[in-house]
Amino acid sequence: MIASIVLLWVCVFVILLLLKSWRPKNFPPGPIILPILGNILELSLENPLKDFERLRKTHGNVYSLYIGSKPAVVINGLQAMKEALMTRSNEFAGRPQDLFVNDTTQRKGVILADYGSSWKEHRRFALMTLRNFGLGKDSMEERIHGEIQYVIKTLEKSIGSTLSPQVMFHNASSNIICQVLFGTRYEYDDMFIKTIVQCFTENAKIANGPWAMLYDSFPLIRSLPLPFMKAFKNVETCQKIAKRLLAEHKSTRVPGEPRDFVDCYFDEMDKRGDDGSSFSEGQLSMYALDLHFAGTDTTSNTLLTGFLYLMGHPHIQERCQQEIDTVLEGKEKATFNDRHNMPYMQAVIHEVQRVANTVPLSVPHCTTKDTELMGYSIPRGTLIIPNMTSLMNEEGEWKFPHEFNPENFLNDQGEFVKPEAFMPFSAGPRMCLGEGLARMELFLITVTLLRKFKFTWPEDAGEPDYTPVYGVTLTPKPYRMKIEPRATE
């Protein structure tokens, strides 16, 4: 009798799980959903990018996956991406609030904040403040050129030998955004910058790694002492550093005379008083870390990718240097406006961004209301994964989708053109806040270094390996570069 009751309950439980595994009516197709596991067995926990492409070939440009019991829609290709991120931008501008990355950041900051009044206020404030502190102006160029001098000194010490550029580029990118946020730059051996960069790098790998996927798929394991706990400790470490910096700022600031982004935020808090707004010191510490991470990791990894490919393609490096020498002849240094006279250099930098594909799955979105995409019905609150890799390699959108070739951004007359499928900063209301700063950094750093040095692949290092290390951001495998001075006229 007891055995029959137990068996009956097991059958009921299995039936309920199977019913829950059915896709809603007119929901995007996808692989068979397993009870409890969902589609986790369809994806490599180490690097699912090839699996996303395999599933796209089977199920089309809009398909669904279940992460545990949670439905997600993966969007691929230019047509679907434009409809979601541009045509229906507000309906796809939400952020899921129950993932690993949300828990580690305590749902504060601006990148992962839900699509509401707090996010809108903070984004508007960030755009205005960054613009006021020189974004797109000569003052920002001066900051970048100032930091480039420290990069040059580091490279000059290694002339005739080899150097691993990973830490150098991370530190340079970090210092540029630090000057905007905190009005300070740090020596490359300073413990602040070492600690922050290390925490950022580790968390970028953990957040898109196997443990984060298991965390998102199986909520029951979230309190267990598993490797994903390292990310929470890293955020705690960064928060302590940020709060110390904020306290120092608060004690030395003169209200109404802002020195940097943080001072502007304090001024905004003073102006708002107790109006019940979302501006607070607790919000500011994660906000600053958000912007610091976004301004460090993506830019530095794009630079690392760029110099890796330039060493592996010396004829492209030489052609860049010829154009730089011609355009900058007689000039002390490059300006961002010089890009308009350097179509080949522009093409190379954009091609680097395309192959670097630094944020391959963008940042997760979710739907803010019941909506449609490419004829499918998508319920409110559905997790949306924009597969940017599908854009960067899409057949028919690029002349050479599967190779590093600046011709992807040049027309028949040798003029720079930017195809529609180029969206490294995403699109719509969630487009990257720091696009202007990143573009300026990539151009000025690359041009200045190529003007002064020749970068070659070390003879004893074997062949260059372009396979990236997977994470929230794709990172080139560690490599070394050989540096020689150039005799520029």
| Global pTM value | 0.89
| Three-state SS at 38 | strand
Torsion angles phi and psi, residue 395, rounded to 5? -60, 140
Q: Domains in the chain, start-ordered, CATH in brackets?
A: 84-385+392-485 (1.10.630.10)
Beta-sheet strands, E only, within 241-386: 365-366, 371-373, 376-378, 383-386
Query: What tokens were used for 70?
Result: 């949670």
Query: What tokens were used for 309?
Result: 């490919």
How many CB atoms sit inside 10 A of residue 426's CB? 18
Q: What is the chain's pLDDT, residue by residue, as a tens digit (489 residues)?
A: 554 444 545 444 444 444 444 788 999 999 999 998 899 889 887 888 899 999 999 999 999 999 888 899 999 999 999 999 999 999 999 888 878 877 777 767 777 778 888 888 888 888 888 887 766 566 789 999 999 999 999 999 999 889 999 989 998 998 998 888 888 888 877 887 788 878 887 887 787 777 888 888 888 888 888 888 998 898 889 888 888 888 888 889 888 888 888 888 888 888 887 766 788 888 888 888 888 888 888 899 999 999 999 999 999 999 999 999 999 999 999 999 999 999 999 999 999 999 999 989 888 899 999 999 999 999 999 999 999 999 999 999 999 999 999 999 999 999 999 999 999 888 888 888 888 889 999 999 999 999 999 999 998 888 899 999 887 788 999 999 999 999 754
Beta-sheet strands, E only, within 68-216: 70-75, 162-163
- The CA distances from residue 461 to 45, 312, 315, 456, 457, in Å, are 30, 12, 19, 11, 7
First to last CA, the chain: 95
d(CA 163, CA 174): 19
Place of tokens 């696009």: 435
Query: What tokens were used for 75?
Result: 């969007």
- The CA distances from residue 458 to 198, 467, 473, in Å, are 26, 18, 26
d(CA 323, CA 447): 10
